[in-house]
Structure formats: structure tokens, C-alpha cells
Structure 1
């Protein structure tokens, strides 16, 4: 493994209305040892209190993905998109040449928990775009975003892909990074890899041409990124 990121070592933010864990340097949290992996720049594990959220703000030249784990997000942007993103849905916004947006907890009674993921694109200044989809699990490893989209996956403006890995307790599975850098972020449960156990919030990266034999030590949900090796 070329890089290991443990949950308890992540940056921590508590603003009352927002509790967040930052895998990589973001906002007021800065650590030069944790600036991202390849084109992956942000994984923020956010919990937003009822009725609260991120007011209107701008982005450009970034692929922004929301992976909702609990509750629902209310999204509005300057391109006219107004959507609710429930748990189980995946959302991708390409900020491109510039977009203003807001994200709020859609509930006035329940918390929303989601992963905010940023990936740098390989095309700058493009027209902003938006996609959202509920993607059913199909086998242990299901594509969520790919460069071309299709086959029920969303598209992304980068030579990168994101898949959801789901394993039952004691189930084994082999992951291969192929020609790209692999990065596994544990959403829930736990898994044993090369004699090391990883639990919710933990993550690690591997070089291209690496094969990983995984054994879930508890019911597992994880995100598997395949990222450019030459970024």
C-alpha cells in the first residue's frame, strides 16, 4: 500500500450545524502529507443538522460528487437544477466554467450524512452539467461513475471511475487496480487486506498493477476509485 489514511487521524470540523471529517486538506484544515491522491482532492464525511446547510457559493473546474448515506440533500444551482438527493442516490455536478449552488438538509427533523467528493477534471472551462441517479447494486462491485457513463453509471470528465463495493461478512473478493491508482474508502463495516483491518472512515491507496485480496470482517460498503497514474 502506497498510502493509508485512518479515520481517527482525519481533519475534524465542528460548526454546530455541521460536523465533518476531512480525508484531505480542505478549508481551515491543512496537512501537507494529505493533499489528495492523483486527481482525487476531497472526501469530506459531512453530517448536517436538520434544516441547515451550505448557502449559495461558487465552484469552477471541478467534478463534485455527493454520495448520500443517510437522510436527503436539497440541491439548487445557477443552471436551474433543483433536486432532492435521497440516501442511495449518487449526484455529480461538473462545475466547469463556473456554477453557483447550495446544498441543504432536506429535512427539518432528521440529520443528513453524505460524502462530498471532489475530483479534478481533464477538461477545463466546459459548460456546467448535472446528473443524479439511483444505482442498484449488481454483484459485489458496481460502477457509479465512469468516463463514458452508460450501463446505468453516471459520467465524469476525467480518466477515472468510482464503484461501490458491497460484501457480506466473511465474503472474499479480489480488487485489481489495472493501469490506474486504486483508492478504497470504507463507508461502513470492516475489511481485512494484507493482514491489516480497515473500518468505516479508513482508506488506502495502491499503485497500478496491484491485486488485493479482501475479506469482509463485517458487512461492508466501500467506494473504490480508479484514478489516473500520470496525474
Structure 2
């Protein structure tokens, strides 16, 4: 078994006024050769966008891009003709493939929007671009992990061009679960959204990240009320 921990206060940070962003992995002006990715997980940005502000139209290619809103309303537009709003309790995915341009704005002028922006390397190049979003509220449960992303179109949540599975947890203090890695050669990166938990004797606090691989499973103990994301990805 191998592990790595990224404490919240060691992340890259960029504050542009309208955007306050923390980077778990190298991104934009933040570069650390030891923190380029965790397997297929290339980007994990923890973004807060001021009221009425956002990311203007910009292109992507050959990347699986996932957005998970944590607070507020995020307006999405792209050159595939999509114009949607995602909010807490939703998950959005965009396969950039052969190329797509999009923008993301805070729909509200009087409040912030907070969301996770996640990029995965795809396992197939130059696919036809696509967009999807789902509401997770009907499938959300307390005190057990629930799946929000997988490689399979017919599975719960959204799907991606990669052998990756994402699960969210909303655990009360004292809750416990053993997570089994979904595919041989994968590892898991756990990101704590709120609270504190222990994974295989390693204590994690709010906004800490923890990677674990070369194991079949690991234990999750909630030592406070906690919310967290488990990203099960190929180690490449």
C-alpha cells in the first residue's frame, strides 16, 4: 500500500479578486513537479467566484471536465448549444474530445458560487464533445457512499471516458465504511469537503486530500460530521 497526503494549507492558491482558487495539483501559475496529478486525476480546483463574475469563453480538448457545485448557482454555456444552471446537489460533466468552448458564470450578482472543478485524462482521444448534468438529490443518502460518476452510461450519476468512479459521502460522527477499489490498477484520492475523518489511521481535516493505491480497499471513519469525495481513478 502506498499513500500521499496533501494538507489544505499546502495547496496552490490564486486570488484574482473575482476568483479565489485553491489548486490540489499544478494549475495555471501554480507549478509543483511533485504535484502534477494523481493517476488520471489531473486537476482538482476548489473555486469561489464573486457575484456576477466568471470564466469567459475558452477552449478545451481531450479532457473529461467535471464540476460539482457546493454553494450557489453556476451558469454554463458552450458552443454545443447548451445553456444550463447547476447548483448544489448537481454534478456536471463535459467531454472536450475534439474541442469545445464554454463559459461558466456566477448566475447571481449578490452571492458567491463555490464549486469543485475536476479534470480527468480520458482513456480515448478525439471523441465527439458532449455535455451532461444530473441532479443527485434523489440518490443522496446519509452515512454511506453513493456513486455520482462512472465509466458506464447506464450507471447512477454521470459517465466519463475513463475507468473512474466518484462517490460522495455525508457521514454523521461515528459512521464507518470500507471502500473497495473498483478496478485493478486504480487508486483513490479522497478530498474532505467538511469535517474530519480517518482513513487507515491517517487523520484528515477539512480540504485535505489523501491518495491511496496498491491496495484493494481502505477504511473510512468519520470522527465528526463530515462530507467528502472519493475519486477512484487509474494510476496510469
Q: Compute the TM-score of the two structures, normalised by the length of structure 1.
A: 0.96
Q: Distance in 2 between matches of 1:225 and 1:86?
A: 20
Greater shift in the superposed pair: 90-99 or 198-207? 198-207
Could you tell me how far apart the structure 2 residues matched to 1:226 and 1:188 are?
20
RMSD after superposition: 1.3
Is residue 2:136 matched to residue 1:137? no
Is residue 192 of structure 1 aligned with residue 204 of structure 2? no
Asked if 2 retains the 8 angstrom alpha-carbon contact of 1:177 and 1:208, the reply is: no
Unaligned 5+ segments in structure 1 are none
Q: Deviations over 1:32-62 (max 9, x none)?
A: 1100101100000000000000000000000
Distance 2:199 2:212 in 1: 12
Cα distance in 1, alignment partners of residues 119 and 229 from structure 2: 14
Deviation of the 1:74 alpha carbon: 0.2
After TM superposition, where is structure 1 displaced by more than 6 Å over at least 4 residues in a row? none
Residue matched to 2:154: 150
Query: Helix, strand or coil for the counterpart of 2:196?
Result: strand
Which residue number corresponds to residue 203 of structure 1?
A: 209
Separation (CA, whole Å) in 1 of partners of 2:216 and 2:6: 18
**TM superposition score normalised by structure 2:** 0.94
Q: Give the Cα–Cα distance (whole angstroms) in 1 for the partners of residues 187 and 200 of structure 2.
A: 17
Query: Which residue of the partner structure matches residue 214 of structure 1?
Result: 220
67-76 vs 167-176, greater mean Cα deviation = 167-176
Q: How many residues align?
A: 230
Q: How does 1:15-26 map to 2 (within 5 A)?
A: 15-26=16-27
Q: Distance in 2 between matches of 1:149 and 1:163?
A: 16
Counterpart in 2 of 1:41?
42
Q: How does 1:25-104 map to 2 (within 5 A)?
A: 25-104=26-105
